[in-house]
Structure 1
Amino acid sequence: MFERSLIHTIRTCLTQFPAVAVLGPRQVGKTTLVKTLLGDFAKEVVYLDLEYIADQRRLVQPDLFFQANQDKLIVLDEIQRMPELFPLLRVMIDQHRVPGRFMLLGSASPDLLKNSSETLAGRIIYLELSPLHLLEIMPTYTYQQHWLRGGFPDALQAADQTRWHFWMESFLQTYVQRDLPDLGLTAGPATIRRLLTMLVGIHGGQLNYSELARSLDLSVATIQYYVDFLENAFLIRRLSPYFLNIGKRLVKAPKLYIRDSGLVHALADITDYNALTGNILLGASWEGYVVQQLIARLPLGVTPYYYRTQNGAELDLLLVKGGKPVVSIEIRYSNAPALKRGNTQAIADLQTEQNLVVTPEAEGYWLRKDVRVCSIHSVWDELRNLGVML
């Protein structure tokens, strides 16, 4: 059992909002987290798993059930199974509006987010539970183990790499063949598996819908829909470019990352650490891993971007607060990093006073007067000191 950092945020939100939604991919630990949290909760808790037939039957007359339990916290797990409940939840909340009436757990889908945001506006807050973060699993696991296996709890804790590989393959089969179609994705499992494999090839690179469409013999609109869906299911991330009004010819395509590094490695058939360090995906995998760890800990009001111009100026990650670039970050799988000419030009373009180079283990020295080298372990203190990290 790992202590999840989100648990403190959930506690606070339950004292403020009538409904709290905890969303994230399957097997990320949502149910375990909430059951742990509610073990000592002040109010009585009613837990319903909407994939369980007996619990579904308890909601044959949902309005009567909710009214009879209006002084309790009602947890609805796998809420996407019964999206028709959302209009009723709004009515129930308005009839008896107190904090902590409902907690919704779900794997998310475009329809789920659309329905709930329309019917529960002003009554609900959405919280995302990401795969286990590096700060949540230290010192039990090293960053190398975490990077290789990813943050799904069962995968990370597998007894050996063979069992990890079996778990990841089972997860992929189940998610692609059952869960994503249940969420509303109309593509065939073979198509989505091919798409995910192709996305590994551009992991950390710019997303070109036309190239993917040609490779899969599908329309650009269809590929865009699939990518949108995978992002709403928390499997991938599109990182937007940052634009400056400086007359630069800027790259406008988003960068694409598969969120969980273990999923990247499973799709690429990378089964151990030695295979990873010798693979052509090494640099992109490390970049994606660091990006996920950093973005998962950003506070409200801090927005991540990347920066690149057609003249070659580039930075892997840019954190913007109040509309102003606060810190630029370059990610290198090297303990003796050097800035490229494009990095220097990007820093000059953005005029960021704080600039970091994140490495596996090198830390605590100035590469130049405005660029500091840090490790995956020390970057958190650097960013907290700048006010851009939880």
Structure 2
Amino acid sequence: MIDRAYRGDLVRKLSHFPVVTILGPRQCGKTTFIRSALPEWSYVDCERPSDYEPLLADPERRLRQLGDFTIFDEAHRVPELFPVLRSYVDEERSRSGRIVLLGSVSPELVAGISESLAGRSAFIELTPFLLSEVVGRAEDSLGRLWFRGGFPDPFLWSDDATVIDWFDAYSRTFIERDLNALGVSISSQRMRQLWAMLCHVSGGMWNASDIASSMGVNYQTVNRYVEILERAFLVRRLQPYFVNISKRIVRRPKLYVRDSGILHHFLGVRTAAQLDVHPSRGASWESFVVEQIISTVELDRPGAGFYFWRTSGGAEVDLLIEIEGTIIPFEVKVHSSPSRGLTKGLRSCMSDLHLRRGYVVYPGAESYSLGSGVDVVPVQRLLTDAEYRDSVLGIE
């Protein structure tokens, strides 16, 4: 079993809040994580009839039978639980670490907590594997994680054919069951078409109208579907960073498919060798690295802000991280030895925002300087060496 980096965050939040809610995409390892972290706790699977039927019949009675130290998996399946849970928690409001809720397709769960458990529950977003969690687990952990993505099963399995079967089954489950449960009236074929289009534009500017035109629907419909995928932790819309400067700054978000394994599945990339020559290789690397950096830094530095920067003239930086008012820009390159000629956008951003430091993130092993405050940093060291990462982020 792979130890997850979220255990410390779980312990900290259980010591302060009566309820902790763990969210994340289906099959990212939430159940395995929580049952290994809290092996003595009672476990209720709200998708198993023998577990959820007593809850539906009399939620208050069943909750009191279970008592403290109970995990409710896929808790959004039983929304009747939330108001009862509020009353139960408030009877001994000062006690912490009593209940854990798990959820994947999250709108109902978040709504229930917002309405019934506001101020009583802390949140943890559990992602698929981070590089820091799997480094050393394979001959090329970085390459494997990039190609297969971070969902535990496809990352750990030995052969590519089984991985293909897993992603086929995963996409069917999400499209045919979870989206229907959310009230999305779209055929499986149309949703697969949307997914394919999203994967082809991953790492690019988000333009719902372009997708809508290709699908023959209106842009509001496309935006609604993408919002659902975003809430299910499968896509990310990264917002632009802009300040009141003379240059016109693009204000549309960029869209990323968050798991590179899903991205490659819908792009038809079936082997690592195919990825090496695929026309979307650069965009795939950018999507992978941006997601890994954001997820890693969010865990280290709650409250950090994440943006990109792009002018109407086309100068762009892939990722800006804001920590306590300080901006750190990162340009992501799949090139084996990035040179000064690849940093025009980064230098433009540094000049416009008056930044002293900027970084190029690449798949190599050596750090080196390109001068004028620009350093090239290895992605593996950035993601797995906390002390090095803190020095890059300017954290003492």
TM superposition score normalised by structure 2: 0.93
Aligned to 2:332: 331
Aligned to 2:158: 159
| Aligned with residue 314 of structure 1, among 313, 316, 319 | 316
Alpha-carbon distance in structure 1 between the residues aligned to 2:302 and 2:89: 26
Q: Following TM superposition, by how much is the alpha carbon of 1:197 offset from its aligned partner in structure 2, in angstroms?
A: 0.5
| Aligned with residue 86 of structure 1, among 66, 82, 86 | 82
Aligned to 1:201: 200
Aligned to 1:358: 361
Check 1:127–1:358 CA distance in 2 against 1; reply closer, same or farther (3 A cut).
same
Does residue 132 in structure 1 map to residue 134 in structure 2?
A: no
| Aligned with residue 302 of structure 2, among 300, 303, 312 | 300
Aligned to 2:373: 370
- Where in structure 2 are the equivalents of 1:3-42 lying within 5 Å? 3-39=3-39
The 8 Å contact of residues 109 and 233 in structure 1, kept in 2 or not, is answered as yes
The 8 Å contact of residues 49 and 55 in structure 1, kept in 2 or not, is answered as yes
3-state DSSP of counterpart to 2:377: strand
Kindly provide the amino acid, as one letter, of the partner of residue 30 in structure 1. K
Alpha-carbon distance in structure 1 between the residues aligned to 2:64 and 2:274: 57
Q: Following TM superposition, by how much is the alpha carbon of 1:159 offset from its aligned partner in structure 2, in angstroms?
A: 2.0
Kindly provide the amino acid, as one letter, of the partner of residue 65 in structure 2. A
Alpha-carbon distance in structure 2 between the residues aligned to 1:169 and 1:184: 22
CA deviations 1:45-100 (Å, max 9, x no partner) are: 22110111111133222212223343x21111011211222121111111222212
Aligned to 1:182: 181
3-state DSSP of counterpart to 2:380: coil
Aligned to 1:95: 91
Q: Following TM superposition, by how much is the alpha carbon of 1:297 offset from its aligned partner in structure 2, in angstroms?
A: 1.0
- Where in structure 2 are the equivalents of 1:279-290 lying within 5 Å? 279-290=278-289
Alpha-carbon distance in structure 2 between the residues aligned to 1:362 and 1:248: 36
5+ residue gaps, structure 1, are none
Q: Following TM superposition, by how much is the alpha carbon of 1:109 offset from its aligned partner in structure 2, in angstroms?
A: 2.8
3-state DSSP of counterpart to 2:38: helix
Q: Following TM superposition, by how much is the alpha carbon of 1:313 offset from its aligned partner in structure 2, in angstroms?
A: 2.2
Q: Following TM superposition, by how much is the alpha carbon of 1:169 offset from its aligned partner in structure 2, in angstroms?
A: 1.1
Alpha-carbon distance in structure 2 between the residues aligned to 1:19 and 1:183: 25
Kindly provide the amino acid, as one letter, of the partner of residue 357 in structure 2. Q
Alpha-carbon distance in structure 1 between the residues aligned to 2:395 and 2:43: 33
Kindly provide the amino acid, as one letter, of the partner of residue 117 in structure 2. L
The 8 Å contact of residues 313 and 344 in structure 1, kept in 2 or not, is answered as no
Check 1:36–1:389 CA distance in 2 against 1; reply closer, same or farther (3 A cut).
farther
Does residue 347 in structure 1 map to residue 350 in structure 2?
A: yes
The 8 Å contact of residues 335 and 362 in structure 1, kept in 2 or not, is answered as no
Does residue 73 in structure 1 map to residue 75 in structure 2?
A: no
Check 1:353–1:125 CA distance in 2 against 1; reply closer, same or farther (3 A cut).
same
Runs of 4+ deviating beyond 6 Å: none
Alpha-carbon distance in structure 1 between the residues aligned to 2:343 and 2:393: 27
More helix by share: 2
Aligned to 1:383: 389
- Where in structure 2 are the equivalents of 1:131-150 lying within 5 Å? 131-141=128-138, 142-150=141-149
Q: Using the TM superposition, name which of 367-376 and 194-203 deviates more.
A: 367-376
3-state DSSP of counterpart to 1:125: strand
CA deviations 1:127-166 (Å, max 9, x no partner) are: 1010011110110122111110000000111221111111
The 8 Å contact of residues 363 and 378 in structure 1, kept in 2 or not, is answered as no
The 8 Å contact of residues 80 and 183 in structure 1, kept in 2 or not, is answered as no
3-state DSSP of counterpart to 2:256: strand
| Aligned with residue 49 of structure 1, among 45, 50, 55 | 45
Q: Following TM superposition, by how much is the alpha carbon of 1:389 offset from its aligned partner in structure 2, in angstroms?
A: 8.4
5+ residue gaps, structure 2, are none
Q: Following TM superposition, by how much is the alpha carbon of 1:384 offset from its aligned partner in structure 2, in angstroms?
A: 1.5
3-state DSSP of counterpart to 1:185: coil
CA deviations 1:274-307 (Å, max 9, x no partner) are: 1001000000000011011100112212111000
Q: Using the TM superposition, name which of 188-197 and 235-244 deviates more.
A: 188-197
- Where in structure 2 are the equivalents of 1:258-277 lying within 5 Å? 258-277=257-276
3-state DSSP of counterpart to 1:296: helix
Aligned to 1:121: 118
Kindly provide the amino acid, as one letter, of the partner of residue 144 in structure 1. G
3-state DSSP of counterpart to 1:378: helix
Kindly provide the amino acid, as one letter, of the partner of residue 43 in structure 2. Y
Alpha-carbon distance in structure 2 between the residues aligned to 1:184 and 1:50: 19
TM superposition score normalised by structure 1: 0.95
- Where in structure 2 are the equivalents of 1:167-246 lying within 5 Å? 167-246=166-245
Alpha-carbon distance in structure 1 between the residues aligned to 2:161 and 2:213: 35
3-state DSSP of counterpart to 1:353: coil
Q: Using the TM superposition, name which of 259-268 and 9-18 deviates more.
A: 9-18
Alpha-carbon distance in structure 1 between the residues aligned to 2:243 and 2:315: 13
